[in-house]
Structure 1
Amino acid sequence: MKIGTRSRAMTLAMALVAAVTTMVHPAEAATGDGSPSDSNIRYFGRWDTRSTGAYVSEWAGAYVVVGFTGTTVKLRQRRSIDLFTSIDGGPWVSRTNVSGTVDLTPSRLPPGTHTLRVSYRPVAGSYHGDAVFQGVVLDSGARTVVPGVPSRIIEFIGDSITVGQRSSQQALTAYGWLTGEKLGAGHTQIAVGGACLYPAPDGCIGMQDRFLKTGLDAAGPDWNFARYQAGDVVINLGTNDRSHGVSGPQFQSAYTTLLQRIRAKYPQANIYAMETFHRRYVTETTAAVTARNNAGDSKVRFINTEGWITPATDTADGTHPNDAGHRKIAARLAAAIG
């Protein structure tokens, strides 16, 4: 081989090696090892999975379901967080300010197959816990298994009332979570305290737009709606807009836009527009629903909530329902959406 030919051949070979070395191969989901990317684990709600070792959900009401064998289970956490856990359908256990490897079974479980559910306290107000799921640690030789989970998913879109603020366990004692549990459905609360429907100029988060996002940050990634399809979507918005100067026409336009966006993302879903408990923007909400019905969308309904709760006894502060108030709302809402 001539020197020039040999040189060109070596250059080509080095280029091929460099190309192979720098090529990014998509990571395959683990199975059975308890890592966040373990394909046996089931996630409800919107989880940011860009980091394979740490999954994050910023919305209220997201949770994880893990089936596993063995007699113990530990939770991997990054930094301090308040969270709730339930094993084998038992009562939810509150775990405050935990971090690192969190032992959930100081007393061993009976041998067999078990189910763990984990939900994190939502970051809100002055609370800034690290709601990051980094997987589970099991007995030597134990593995995760696919848990039994509902196929129906209900999504609740709202503000602090839907978050469950001022109730005893926040998202877990909020009407959305309770309604989903009553109906035997998977559920999630796409909600944050202080949210408006319309993106007000003073900075109030507008759920008209945030509905499309993975998390709270407007500059964050859009949500991939192929991850799951909600069968039902319940909206409870409008409590905060008035105090942020949102006019009736602005609110109605934003509600119509949100309904259109929900329909585009969930073509088969039933969509329910709840009347706010303070009866704000009722005319505008019903007009937005009517507009969708007139456009041929018969699966959008207005839900009249008058008389569901009594503010003096069923709220903590005249606005946010207490535990009893949320239970009353859940009973009426579960009956309404079936």
Structure 2
Amino acid sequence: MTFATASPNPGPKQVVLKVGDPSVHLNGRWDAAPGTWWTGSGFKLFVEDLTSLTVNLGSHTTQPVAAIGLSVNYGPFTTLNVSEGTNELPLGLPTNAKKGSKSVVRINAQGWQNNRLNVESIVLNANAKPLTYNPSKIAFQFIGDSLSAGQFLDNGVDGAWPFLTGETFKAEHNINAQPGAALTDIESFGNVHGVSFQFFRTEDTGYFDTTDHNFTTPWNFKRDDPEPSHVAIHIGANDASQNITADAFVNTYLTFTDRLRVLYPHQPFFVFTPWGWPNADGTIGQYYQGSYQEIVNKRHAEGDKNVFLVDTTGWVTFADVFPANQHPNPAGHVKIAGLFTQWLEKWGLSPEHQWSTLAS
């Protein structure tokens, strides 16, 4: 006679999360794949007893690799390359952490291009307990081009002034910035649409070169969680490069802010003047001088007093840019973020004293 052997207890299973689960807090733009568009898009987790985290990525992920930024418990964002398939991330958490310890993990698509993450699942260690991430009360919406997207930086958008500003204020921050794009809805440096069109779409202008997503989908702004509390716009360099006249640019900008005001009826708008293109001889190549003040003045004349000019004259010198392309270098982005932080504090906005969701 034979007796059946009892199967050993397999123990607790790993915790599997999907995009759409309440404990996976999204930022930026996501399509139905689910996958990211626009630089800086990603997700945040708040987890009790976390020891391991694996991200399984699908075929819509940028090939062969995509760069992500990873921050654990509000430490600096480190750059990692991930690819389609299984990606176990190095969290660097202590192995002897006491039971009940809580961790915050933030992950974003870091590249200023080639930044698609098709997240099929997020796998946590057994016994991990996903909690609710509570976003900051301050939430920036940045709108721009390569000068805001971190083009040419090794760590992409994570080293760019909008991202750094958001971190200083312990704020949430979405960054819709497309290198080469004009505000005007024209073809510009490989972009088939301008930001005045594309901002209202899920996809960034990279959709044009993909085989799986060659269309644009209206973005549901109710998906932004939280709703932006402050909107900052730095754009115009590519309009000038495409010979858009100052009058035409002002009209496009005003129409764009009309549409933004419908979405954001009470939020302050910060209209940046260009810091220009610094040259080795100390001169600055300028564009649309006076136009940004005209935009703010016209908004005020229409009764919208909640629009403010951020005069960046003198903020960026030749020492602050890459000589080959005159885009801000790492130190230049830090400088710009510091100057904008000073401007915001004088305006009346103070950084949060602590993050809204705290690790312990």
Are positions 1:64 and 2:71 aligned together? no
Kept after mapping to 1: 8 A contact 2:112/2:157: no
Could you tell me how far 1:97 is from its partner in structure 2?
4.5
Q: Distance in 1 between matches of 2:116 and 2:293?
A: 39
Matches within 5 A, 1:246-261: 246-261=244-259
Are positions 1:198 and 2:168 aligned together? no
What percentage of residue pairs aligned between the two structures are identical? 25
**Partner residue of 1:245 out of 243, 246, 249:** 243
Aligned to 2:68: 83
Label 1:232 to 1:130 Cα distance change in 2 as closer, same or farther (>3 A).
closer
* Greater displacement, 168-177 / 224-233: 224-233
Q: SS where residue 309 of structure 1 aligns?
A: coil
Kept after mapping to 2: 8 A contact 1:58/1:123: no
Q: Distance in 2 between matches of 1:140 and 1:320?
A: 46
Are positions 1:101 and 2:99 aligned together? no
Residue-pair matches, total:
299
Q: Distance in 2 between matches of 1:336 and 1:324?
A: 18
Q: Distance in 2 between matches of 1:104 and 1:323?
A: 25
Deviations 1:133-179 (A, max 9, x none): 33311112323111243122101100011001122311000000001
Could you tell me how far 1:238 is from its partner in structure 2?
0.8
* Greater displacement, 109-118 / 268-277: 109-118
Label 1:243 to 1:96 Cα distance change in 2 as closer, same or farther (>3 A).
same
Q: Distance in 1 between matches of 2:306 and 2:122?
A: 40
Aligned to 1:172: 158
Q: Distance in 2 between matches of 1:123 and 1:307?
A: 26
Are positions 1:320 and 2:327 aligned together? yes
Greater RCO (Cα-Cα under 8 Å, separation 6 or more) = 2
Are positions 1:221 and 2:206 aligned together? no
Kept after mapping to 2: 8 A contact 1:45/1:63: yes
Q: Distance in 2 between matches of 1:129 and 1:182?
A: 24
* Higher relative helix content: 1
Could you tell me how far 1:319 is from its partner in structure 2?
2.4
Q: SS where residue 61 of structure 1 aligns?
A: strand
Q: Which amino acid aligns with 2:268?
A: N
Kept after mapping to 1: 8 A contact 2:112/2:150: no
Could you tell me how far 1:39 is from its partner in structure 2?
0.6
Q: Which amino acid aligns with 1:67?
A: F
Aligned to 1:14: none
Could you tell me how far 1:68 is from its partner in structure 2?
1.6
Aligned to 2:133: 147
Label 1:240 to 1:34 Cα distance change in 2 as closer, same or farther (>3 A).
same
Aligned to 1:132: 118
Are positions 1:294 and 2:294 aligned together? no
TM-score (normalised: structure 2): 0.77
Kept after mapping to 2: 8 A contact 1:122/1:131: no
Could you tell me how far 1:181 is from its partner in structure 2?
0.8
Could you tell me how far 1:106 is from its partner in structure 2?
7.3
* Greater displacement, 326-335 / 135-144: 135-144
Q: Distance in 2 between matches of 1:280 and 1:73?
A: 47
Gaps of at least 5 residues in structure 1 are 1-31
Label 1:59 to 1:107 Cα distance change in 2 as closer, same or farther (>3 A).
closer
Aligned to 1:211: 199
Kept after mapping to 1: 8 A contact 2:39/2:115: no
Could you tell me how far 1:129 is from its partner in structure 2?
5.3
Q: Which amino acid aligns with 2:194?
A: G
Could you tell me how far 1:263 is from its partner in structure 2?
0.7
Aligned to 2:265: 267
Deviations 1:20-68 (A, max 9, x none): xxxxxxxxxxxx84211111121122222x24xx2x2211122311112
Q: Distance in 1 between matches of 2:172 and 2:183?
A: 24
